[in-house]
């Protein structure tokens, strides 16, 4: 079976045929760097990473771009609140994002373009859109995309514009809005005082870009006018990706993206995890609860990326324990170098992943392999390492850990505190162990310590 991917545009599973035979251009909408990302955001990036890993595993040369949104309504608002320059403020959160990315074993993209470095490209595209009649300048000097000039508007998010005629007549200056306020959207926002010192003097006047034009400019500049796959979470479908299509296709006259892929939400008690609802966890919050970043990664693999998934701390802890068991099973295999990948297992693995990245089944196969006594330990090891190129649990880098004496001492002290039922002290010691880069887990066989 060939690779089939779900395309939001057609709402169907489609055979994946790249534009160029052996290479894939992949664009992932990256973080808006105004705060620490929450683990819902990481569902989107781990999904993109799994897709990219599988494409590479299948022999494609993947060119992956992930943008950094370092200018939008939220970055301006919060940098002002903190009294920092936009650059200083966004650089801090960009670096925090990179740290989390590494802890989650997400392969770095080939490039992380920052929106503020692409203002010239954005201005060039906006001017062309005005010239072609797709955009117009409003009375305050802002530039808007006229959605009625783009007949395909609404095709990605499956909105019927004719039903919205009245709504669709207005103008929307905010970067984010709901489907029921479909309107002409801002490409360029004329300066107003709330922007403080964030503005560019350009041929479009003094102002700053709208959010949507940023991804169009960074995608076209880095990957060309047509790309294979664009990913993001489902909340990006409208208005962000719908608007990207209108701008990009209005500008080039060519199909912008062949396959649009979107991951479903991570929920908390049935509601989307989000900053605005305040129901979010960061990666640090999970670590404080004794759940490792790769335990979270494994937990995500147990659901398909297109299913709504409710966060449940107990099942997350279970996934973290499962990861430890996976490591133990792997470490118990001799470090023979003469093992070969078991082809029957590999065929099944590829078949599951070809089915729109069916990670739950692919993961179940690993447990089946671990239990299979007909496969030699050396071949088992080779097969697990092979699959791990896609899962990204870091098996190839697993070594017997040497725990520093300082950490071991704290673990013993914590054990004593626990025996004395001094839970407050036990928590303090756990936090100290965490700050040294280690985590401690309480198992049936006592405390186990490992690197975070
Ligand atoms: P943002 O920084 O808000 O632009 O979001 C970055 C990425 O995270 C986007 O692809 C969003 O669609 C995605 N995202 C945000 N919240 C969630 C969530 N609760 N579950 C899954 N993906 C999410
Ligand atoms: Zn984007």
DSSP 204: T
CA distances from 220 to 62, 127, 192, 195 (A): 16, 15, 29, 27
Please tell me whether residues 159 and 192 are part of one structural domain. Answer: yes
The tokens for 247 are 């701008």
pTM: 0.89
Q: Tell me the pLDDT tens digit for each residue of 259-291.
A: 999 999 999 999 999 999 999 999 999 999 999
Please tell me whether residues 439 and 350 are part of one structural domain. Answer: no
Residue with tokens 């006259």: 253
Residue span of the structural domain in which 364 resides = 268-397
Distance CA 306, CA 231 (A): 12
Is residue 356 within 8 Å of residue 307, measured between CB atoms? no
Q: Specify the pairing of strand 266-268 against strand 271-272.
A: antiparallel
| The 3-state secondary structure of 94-138, one letter per residue | HHHHHHHHHHCCCCCCCECCEHHHHHHHHHHHHHHHHHCCCEEEC
Q: Which residue among 220, 242, 263 closes a domain?
A: 263
Please tell me whether residues 272 and 304 are part of one structural domain. Answer: yes
Distance CA 249, CA 137 (A): 20
The CATH number linked to 134 is 3.40.50.620
Ligand 1 touching residue 411 (CB < 6 A): no
The tokens for 420 are 């004395």
Q: Which residue among 243, 263, 283 closes a domain?
A: 263
- With H, G, I as helix, E, B as strand and everything else as coil, classify residue 331: helix
Q: What φ, ψ does residue 181 adopt, rounded to 5°?
A: -120, 45
Please tell me whether residues 242 and 378 are part of one structural domain. Answer: no
**Helix, strand, coil distribution of the chain in percent, nearest 5:** 50, 20, 35
Distance CA 225, CA 17 (A): 17
Please tell me whether residues 23 and 152 are part of one structural domain. Answer: yes
- Indicate which residue's Cα is closest to atom 15 of ligand 1: 41
Distance CA 364, CA 301 (A): 10
Instruction: Quote the ligand 2 centre to 276 CA distance (angstroms).
Output: 19
Ligand 1 touching residue 240 (CB < 6 A): no
Please tell me whether residues 442 and 367 are part of one structural domain. Answer: no
Is residue 78 within 8 Å of residue 34, measured between CB atoms? yes
In the chain, how long is the greatest CA-to-CA distance? 76
The pLDDT score that the predictor gives to residue 198 is 97
Q: Tell me the pLDDT tens digit for each residue of 442-452.
A: 876 677 787 78
Is residue 69 within 8 Å of residue 33, measured between CB atoms? yes
Distance CA 323, CA 421 (A): 28
Instruction: Quote the ligand 1 centre to 72 CA distance (angstroms).
Output: 15
Beta carbons within 8 Å of 423's beta carbon, 6+ residues apart: 417
DSSP 69: B
CA 138 from centre of chain: 35
CA-wise closest residue to 366 among 402, 400, 333, 412: 333
Q: What φ, ψ does residue 270 adopt, rounded to 5°?
A: 80, 0
Distance CA 292, CA 290 (A): 6
The pLDDT score that the predictor gives to residue 1 is 76
Instruction: Quote the ligand 2 centre to 237 CA distance (angstroms).
Output: 10
Instruction: Quote the ligand 1 centre to 77 CA distance (angstroms).
Output: 19
Please tell me whether residues 368 and 318 are part of one structural domain. Answer: yes
The number of the ligand nearest the C-alpha atom of 233 reads 1
Distance CA 149, CA 132 (A): 10
Distance CA 60, CA 3 (A): 12
Q: Which residues, given as ranges, of the chain have pLDDT below 70?
A: 164-168, 400-401, 444-445
Domain count, the chain: 3
Please tell me whether residues 195 and 47 are part of one structural domain. Answer: yes
Please tell me whether residues 154 and 85 are part of one structural domain. Answer: yes
- Indicate which residue's Cα is closest to atom 18 of ligand 1: 40
Please tell me whether residues 221 and 286 are part of one structural domain. Answer: no
- With the most atoms of ligand 1 within 8 angstroms of its CB, the residue from 44, 71, 262 to mutate is 44
Beta carbons within 8 Å of 196's beta carbon, 6+ residues apart: 76, 80
Please tell me whether residues 89 and 220 are part of one structural domain. Answer: yes
Q: Which residue among 360, 380, 397 closes a domain?
A: 397
Distance CA 323, CA 124 (A): 49
- Indicate which residue's Cα is closest to atom 14 of ligand 1: 41
Q: Which atom of ligand 1 is nearest to the CA of 29?
A: 10
Please tell me whether residues 161 and 182 are part of one structural domain. Answer: yes
Q: How many helices (H) and strands (E) does the chain have?
A: 14, 17
CA-wise closest residue to 24 among 216, 235, 297, 261: 261
Residue with tokens 């999970």: 286
CA 362 from centre of chain: 20
């Amino acid at each position: 079976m060939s690779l089939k991917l779900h395309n939001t545009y057609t709402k169907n599973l489609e055979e994946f045929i790249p534009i160029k035979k052996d290479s894939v251009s992949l664009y992932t909408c990256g973080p808006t760097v105004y705060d620490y990302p929450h683990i819902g955001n990481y569902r989107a990036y781990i999904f993109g990473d799994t897709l990219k890993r599988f494409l590479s595993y299948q022999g494609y040369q993947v060119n992956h771009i992930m943008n950094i949104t370092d200018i939008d309504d939220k970055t301006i608002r919060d940098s002002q609140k903190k009294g920092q320059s936009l650059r200083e403020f966004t650089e801090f959160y960009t670096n925090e994002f990179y740290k989390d990315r590494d802890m989650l074993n997400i392969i770095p993209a080939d490039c992380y373009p920052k929106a503020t470095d692409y203002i010239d490209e954005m201005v060039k595209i906006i001017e062309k859109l005005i010239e072609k009649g797709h955009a117009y300048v409003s009375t305050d000097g802002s530039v808007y995309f006229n959605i009625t000039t783009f007949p395909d508007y609404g095709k990605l998010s499956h909105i019927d514009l004719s039903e919205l005629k009245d709504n669709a007549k207005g103008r929307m200056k905010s970067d984010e809005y709901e489907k029921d306020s479909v309107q002409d959207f801002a490409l360029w926002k004329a300066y107003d005082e709330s922007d403080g010192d964030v503005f560019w003097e350009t041929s479009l006047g003094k102002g700053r870009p709208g959010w949507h034009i940023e991804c169009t400019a960074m995608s076209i500049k880095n990957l060309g006018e047509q790309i294979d796959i664009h990913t993001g979470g489902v909340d990006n479908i409208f208005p962000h990706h719908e608007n990207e299509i209108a701008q990009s296709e209005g500008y080039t006259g060519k199909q912008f993206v062949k396959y649009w892929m979107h991951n479903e939400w991570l929920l908390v008690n049935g509601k989307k995890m989000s900053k605005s609802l305040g129901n979010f966890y960061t990666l640090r919050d999970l670590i404080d609860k004794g759940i490792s970043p790769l335990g979270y990664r494994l937990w995500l693999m147990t659901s398909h990326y297109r299913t709504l998934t409710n966060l449940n701390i107990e099942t997350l802890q279970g996934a973290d324990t499962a990861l430890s068991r996976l490591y133990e099973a792997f470490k118990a295999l001799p470090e023979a170098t003469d093992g070969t990948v078991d082809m029957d297992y590999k065929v099944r693995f590829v078949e599951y992943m070809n089915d729109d990245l069916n990670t739950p089944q692919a993961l179940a196969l690993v447990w089946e392999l671990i239990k299979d006594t007909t496969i030699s330990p050396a071949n088992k090891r080779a097969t697990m390492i092979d699959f791990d190129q896609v899962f990204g649990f870091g098996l190839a880098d697993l070594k017997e850990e040497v725990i520093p004496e300082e950490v071991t001492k704290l673990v013993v002290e914590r054990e004593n505190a626990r025996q004395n039922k001094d839970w407050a002290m036990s928590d303090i010691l756990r936090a100290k162990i965490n700050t040294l880069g280690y985590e401690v887990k309480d198992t049936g066989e006592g405390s186990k310590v490992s690197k975070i």
